[in-house]
Chain A
Amino acid sequence: MKSVLALPAGPWRWALAVAAVLAAPLVITSGYLLGIAIVIGIHTPVVLGLILLMNYAGQVSLGQAAFYGLGAYTAGILTATYKWPPLVALAAAVLVPGAVAAVVGRPLLRLREQYLALATLGLGILVFIGFNEAKVLTGGPSGLLGIPYFSLGPLVFDRDVKFFHLVWLINVGLFWLAGNLVRSPAGRALRAIHDSEVAAQAVGIDTGWWKWQVLIFSALLAGLAGGLYAFYVCFVSPSPFGLVASIQFVLMAVLGGGSVWGALWGAAAVTVLVEVLRAVVPLIHRGAGGEFEIIGLGVLLVALLLWRHTGGREPLQALRRYCGRPWRLLPGAARGNPGPDRAQRGR
């Protein structure tokens, strides 16, 4: 992955990226593929924020879809119901989730890993319920219609090509920001926090504050993505912002790996995978629909985590062992076998 992007350094790299974005629709001629590329572009900021949160600050969020949804609903409600100008509404879509993260984040981040995961889970569900229940504001489960196209003055983004440019130019900008952050002393501070909070504090880093800022930033990014979603689909309902979506984003972040660019690959890989499943599965099992998508998501996440944290060969080895002799599955049967638990004792 590094080789493709280790292009001429400095401003040339960004100029090249901008040019590539502008030129891409000439190459991607299929409307379907262009649409997928736009969706990937909408998911990317969320994943970027999540990667910064997980791999740089070492915190996890299982409720990122809440910020995403808050952004979408903010943009939608402000333009559809209150007729605000789209640009201002998009700005609000960015800031509202950020404000929520600012308020809720400080106390939340004091929790240790597993408890933080759960708190974000609860928060995500709470917000999702809010979307469903606040019918007057959000239209409830049936959703909010009538969101206009995004416009910047006379420029109206009513065609996929224009929206593609909008989304991906924004993404280029976001990657520029993230790249700066990562290469600056701030980025080092974040990595320090991820590696050893105790040591980070010992050199003067206010770890609580830094984690808080990353959370706010990730909420801002997710909110931006949500706003873009609203202006693309021109309709918002609660269903894309539930727990499954949060897990999807986590999967994208885990798949994408540790670097900032991973956001792109992770978002692309999972989005494409979901599309493939959607297209292929009905051919194999008529009448089947979203179930396989969900199963695939879960299995992929599990497999990925197992693979990454047991060195890659263990699950296959274990599988071979068990398939040959299923009674080995029972405890005690593994005596005399240097099983995984022996190696991992003393965590």
Chain B
Amino acid sequence: MDLGSQLLQYSFAGLTLGSIYALVALAFVTTFSITGILNLAMGEFLTFGALLAVSLLGAGLPLPLACAVAVCLVALLGGLMERVAVRPVLGAPPLVPVMVTIGLAVSLRGVALLAWGTDTYTLPAFSAGESLRVGGAALALQSLWVLGFLVLVLVGLFVFFDYTLTGKAVRACMINRTAAELLGVRPERMSFCSFVASGALGAAAGILITPITLATYDLGFMLGLKGFIGAVVGGLTSVPGAVAGGLLLGLLEAFGAGLVASGMKDVVAMLVLLAVLLVRPTGIFGLGRGREA
């Protein structure tokens, strides 16, 4: 493959993975801007989404149904998480909810390990067929599904935020919770819904990527972390920022791994995290205060 095709190949890989990061980043931004909490158990939504879909498929359900049910179950898990473990500690010093989510992440990971062991699982690609050949590089059909889903979500969010009353209420809540409350918006409901939505998004992301990268019990951990980094790059409070951050990270990783060394994948992500936190913790696109005076 000549260099041009190689670069194109990396771009495809980067955009695919980046879309997953973008979806996860969106989920983070959703919960963070409404509740002010960083849900570090997000990665587990991906894991459970993927593995539940696998099990449901194995139990005989057709693929679309298995995926849909898995997404719903994980969305419920998100809601449960919010009610039981996150809301009680909303008043505590800011670190406590974060540590609670870490504890939850660890527990859920253990449960996944218990239920599914250390094996790898896979889902069939959503549409059978050869990868497309574009400019000398291969673009898997599953990648198109991933990108397509991201576009769908973005369009949906755009319509939701700009054209529906509930969407505007959510936006109000994201910008200024107290003011929104005074105007009749109810933050507890928003908070609950944001966790449910992030669960659904996470599960979908996990399901989408499984045909490409396979699923294990710790699938979600690194993906969640990198999605989170994408959100940090974007500023944690901005939807376009999150998407841009996720995609950017995916591309950086793909090029880093392709051009330097494959072990570099995770290193790239961590370096980006540290770089952003040290240089501009408010993110490249976002607003918000991450640093002291």
Question: Chain A interface (Cβ within 8 Å of chain B)?
Answer: 60, 62, 107-108, 110-115, 117-119, 122-123, 125-126, 129, 133, 197, 244, 247, 250, 254, 288, 290-302, 305-306, 309-310, 314-315, 318, 322, 329-332, 334, 339-341, 343-345, 347
Which one of A108, A112, A115, A126 lies within 8 Å of B267 (CB-CB)? A126
Question: Chain B interface (Cβ within 8 Å of chain A)?
Answer: 38, 79-80, 83-85, 87-96, 98-100, 102-111, 113-114, 186-189, 191-193, 225, 228-229, 232, 263, 266-267, 270-271, 273-274, 277-278, 281, 289-292
Q: How far is the CA of A220 from the CA of B225 in the complex (A)?
A: 28
- CB pair B263–A133 under 8 Å, yes or no, is yes
- Identify the 7 closest CB pairs spanning chains A and B, nearest first: A344-B91, A298-B107, A295-B110, A298-B106, A301-B103, A294-B110, A302-B103
Q: How far is the CA of A250 from the CA of B40 in the complex (A)?
A: 16
Q: Does more than half of chain A's interface fall in helix, strand or loop, or is it mixed?
A: helix
Q: How far is the CA of A126 from the CA of B92 in the complex (A)?
A: 30
Q: How far is the CA of A306 from the CA of B99 in the complex (A)?
A: 10
Closest beta carbon of chain B to A201's beta carbon, Å:
10
Q: Which residues of B contact A292 (CB under 8 A)?
A: 110, 114
- CB pair B89–A107 under 8 Å, yes or no, is no
* Closest residue on chain A to residue B93 by CB atoms: A113
Q: How far is the CA of A110 from the CA of B110 in the complex (A)?
A: 34
Closest beta carbon of chain A to B9's beta carbon, Å:
24
A125 in contact with B266 given A111-B291, A291-B114, A306-B85 (CB within 8 Å):
yes
Q: How far is the CA of A197 from the CA of B291 in the complex (A)?
A: 13
Q: Which residues of A contact B114 (CB under 8 A)?
A: 288, 291-292, 295
Closest beta carbon of chain A to B41's beta carbon, Å:
9
Q: Which residues of A contact B85 (CB under 8 A)?
A: 302, 306
Q: Which residues of A contact B229 (CB under 8 A)?
A: 122
Q: Which residues of B contact A297 (CB under 8 A)?
A: 103, 106-107, 110
- CB pair A122–B273 under 8 Å, yes or no, is yes
- CB pair A340–B90 under 8 Å, yes or no, is yes
Q: Which residues of A contact B113 (CB under 8 A)?
A: 290-291, 294
A298 in contact with B110 given A112-B289, A133-B263 (CB within 8 Å):
yes
- CB pair A305–B266 under 8 Å, yes or no, is no
- CB pair B90–A341 under 8 Å, yes or no, is yes
- CB pair A126–B270 under 8 Å, yes or no, is yes
Q: How far is the CA of A264 from the CA of B278 in the complex (A)?
A: 34
A295 in contact with B95 given A126-B274, A305-B89 (CB within 8 Å):
no
- CB pair A305–B100 under 8 Å, yes or no, is yes
Closest beta carbon of chain A to B237's beta carbon, Å:
13
- CB pair B290–A250 under 8 Å, yes or no, is no
Closest beta carbon of chain B to A11's beta carbon, Å:
38
Q: How far is the CA of A343 from the CA of B87 in the complex (A)?
A: 11
- CB pair A305–B270 under 8 Å, yes or no, is no
Q: How far is the CA of A291 from the CA of B273 in the complex (A)?
A: 29
Q: Which residues of A contact B273 (CB under 8 A)?
A: 118-119, 122
Closest beta carbon of chain A to B33's beta carbon, Å:
14
- CB pair A114–B84 under 8 Å, yes or no, is no
- CB pair A114–B88 under 8 Å, yes or no, is no
Q: Which residues of A contact B93 (CB under 8 A)?
A: 113
Closest beta carbon of chain A to B190's beta carbon, Å:
9
- CB pair A305–B110 under 8 Å, yes or no, is no
A341 in contact with B110 given A111-B291, A117-B98 (CB within 8 Å):
no
Q: How far is the CA of A309 from the CA of B99 in the complex (A)?
A: 12
- CB pair B188–A306 under 8 Å, yes or no, is no
Which one of A118, A301, A331 lies within 8 Å of B188 (CB-CB)? A331
Closest beta carbon of chain A to B251's beta carbon, Å:
19
- CB pair B274–A122 under 8 Å, yes or no, is yes
Q: Which residues of A contact B271 (CB under 8 A)?
A: 126
- CB pair B277–A244 under 8 Å, yes or no, is no
With A305-B89, A331-B186, A341-B87 known, 19 other A-B pairs at CB within 8 A are A110-B292, A111-B277, A112-B289, A113-B95, A119-B274, A122-B270, A122-B274, A126-B271, A197-B292, A292-B114, A294-B107, A301-B102, A302-B103, A302-B104, A309-B91, A309-B92, A329-B83, A334-B188, A347-B90
